[in-house]
Chains A and B, each alone.
Chain A
Amino acid sequence: MKKQLLLFIFIITLISLVSYASPYNIERESESKERLKTEEVSTTAQVQKKSWIKMPTFINSIRKKIISYQRDLNRMISSNLNKLQKDRSLKTLLIIAFLSFVYGFVHSLGPGHGKVIIASYFLGKKSKIIHGVAAGSLMAFIHALSGTMVVLIFYFFLKKSLMSATSDAESGLRFVTSILIILLGSFMLINEILRKNKNYSDDNKVEVKGANQAYMLSIAAGLVPCPGVILVYLFSINLGVLRFGVVSVISTALGMAAGISLVAVGVIVARNYVEKITFYDFNTKNASEKESNEQKQNKLLKLKKFQKVFSIIGFSFIIISGFFMLLFV
C-alpha cells in the first residue's frame, strides 16, 4: 500500500515537473518581432540541455497531426467567417460555432492555460467532480473575457496598435497572475500547515467543502488574455461580422472549458481513487462494521496524514508554478 502511494506521488511529481519544464516558455511572447517600439528585444533563453529522451516517431506524427488540425480549424473558421459576411446563413454560423469549440478544446490542451495550477490544487484538496468542471470553466471564460477586454480597451477606446497592446497586456497580466498565484498558494500552504487536526466522526469520509480557493486560482490563472480570441475578434470586426465573431469566441471558450475541466476532473478522479483504494476496502462493504474502533481510528489517522501530505504537495506546486511563471516567462 505504501509502495503504491509512494509510486503515485513520484509519478505525479515527475509529471508536474515535466510539464513545468515546458509550458510557460512556450507562452513567452515572441510577438516582440512585431512591436512598434524599438526597445531591445531580450534574447531567447535557450535551454540547451543534453536531451535524454528521444521522442519516438509516432509522437512527432501525433504532434504534427494536432498542429495541422489547428491550422485547418483556423483556416476553416476564417473562411466561414468570410462566407458569413456574404451570406448570413444559420448553417455557416453553426459550423463556425462547432469549429471554434473544437479549436478551443484542442488549443486548451496546450500549456499556459493554468491547467497545472488547478491540477495542483485538486491534487492537494479532495474535491468533487463538479468543482473541477466549475473551476475549469471559470478559468476558460476569464481567459476569453480578458482577451475581450483587451480588444474593448485598446481597439475601441484607446485605438492603439493591437499587436503591441496584446503583447504588453500579456506580459503585464502574466506578472500579476504569477504574483497572485504565489500569494494564494502560500496562503493555502501556510493555512494547511498550521491547521489543527479536526476531530473526525466515525464516518471515515471527510466532508468536502466548497472549492472557493480553486475558483480564486482559476480567476488568477485565467487573467492572461488569449491571443486566439483577439485574432478572431479583429478578423470579424474587419469583415463587419463582429456579432458572429462573438459566437466564435463563446464557442472557443466553451471548448477551452471542456479541455481544462477534463484535466481537472482527471486529477480529481485519480486522487479520489488513490484515496479510496488506500483507505477503504472495496471487497467487503461491511468492513466498517467488522473493524474494531482501534482499527477505524488508525485508518482515520492515516487518511488525515495522507490528505495533509497531498495538500502540502499540491499547494507547493502552486507556489512553484507561480515562481516559474514569474521568472522564466
Chain B
Amino acid sequence: MKYLFFACLIFCTISAICHPHVWVEVNTRAYTSENELEKIKLKWTFDEMFSMLFEEDFNDSKDGNYTDEEKEFVKKTVFKNMSDYNYYTTIKIDGEEVNLTPEFEMDTENRILIFNFTYNINEKIKDESQNILISVFDEEFYHDIELSSPVFKVEGESSDKVDFKVQEGEFEWFYSVIEVEELVIEF
C-alpha cells in the first residue's frame, strides 16, 4: 500500500509538470573584449506552431516578414509584459542574483520566431575564478524552455579564458524539488 501511495504521488508530480504548450530552445553566446566579459546573448527559438500563432497576431503580411514597426510593437507589448516574469531568466554572478534588463530584438528564421535577449554584464576577467549562472525557466510550465546545441559559444579576445558547463539546478516547487537546467559560464 505504501508503494501504491508513492507511485501515485510520483505520478501526480510527473503529470503535473508535463503540460507545456509552447516549446523554446535557448542558445547562449558570450562576447568578450580584452580581459572583460562584456555581453551575454540568449537566443530563444520558438516552435513552428507558436511562431505561426504569433505571426497571426503581429505580422500583417502573414509571411514571417515583420516590418520595423511591427517589431517595435512587439517590443513595446510582449517584451514589456515579459518583465513581470523577469523574462523567465535568472542570472547569478558568483552566486549573487542580479536584476538585469536585457536589450531585446525579435527576428525570424524561415518563419520561426526568434527572441534575442542581450545582457550587458561587463565583468572583468580576473585571475580568481568567477562564474555566471543562467537558468531560463517557466515556473508555470506553459513554456518548456531548454538549452539546445550549440549550448554556448564565446567570441572576442580573451575567449579562451571563458568556459562553460551545464548542470542541474534545484527548483522548489510545491511539495517537491525539481531539477532545472542551468548554464554555468566560468571565467
Chain A interfacial positions (CB closer than 8 Å to B): 7, 11, 14-15, 18-19, 21-23, 25-36, 38, 41, 43-44, 46-55, 57, 59-60, 62-63, 66-67, 70-71, 74-75, 78-79, 82, 106-107, 109-112, 161-164, 227-228, 230-232, 234-235, 238
Contacts and interface: CB of A to CB of B under 8 A. Distances in A.
- Among B21, B47, B49, the one with the most A-chain Cβ atoms within 10 Å of its Cβ is B49
Contact of A34 (B1, B12, B15, B78): B78
B48 A238 contact: no
B85 A234 contact: no
B142 A31 contact: yes
Interface residues of B, number: 51
B21 A227 contact: yes
Interface of B: 1, 4-5, 8-10, 12-21, 23, 47-50, 52-57, 62, 77-78, 80-82, 84-85, 138-144, 168, 172-179
27 contacts: A14-B5, A15-B12, A18-B9, A22-B12, A22-B17, A26-B16, A30-B140, A32-B84, A33-B82, A34-B54, A38-B77, A43-B84, A49-B175, A57-B179, A70-B18, A70-B144, A71-B23, A71-B144, A78-B49, A109-B15, A112-B19, A161-B57, A163-B57, A228-B21, A234-B49, A235-B49, A235-B53
Nearest to A53: B176
Contacts of B138: 30
Contacts of A7: 1
B78 A33 contact: yes
A52 B175 contact: yes
A22 B179 CA distance: 16
Nearest to B140: A30
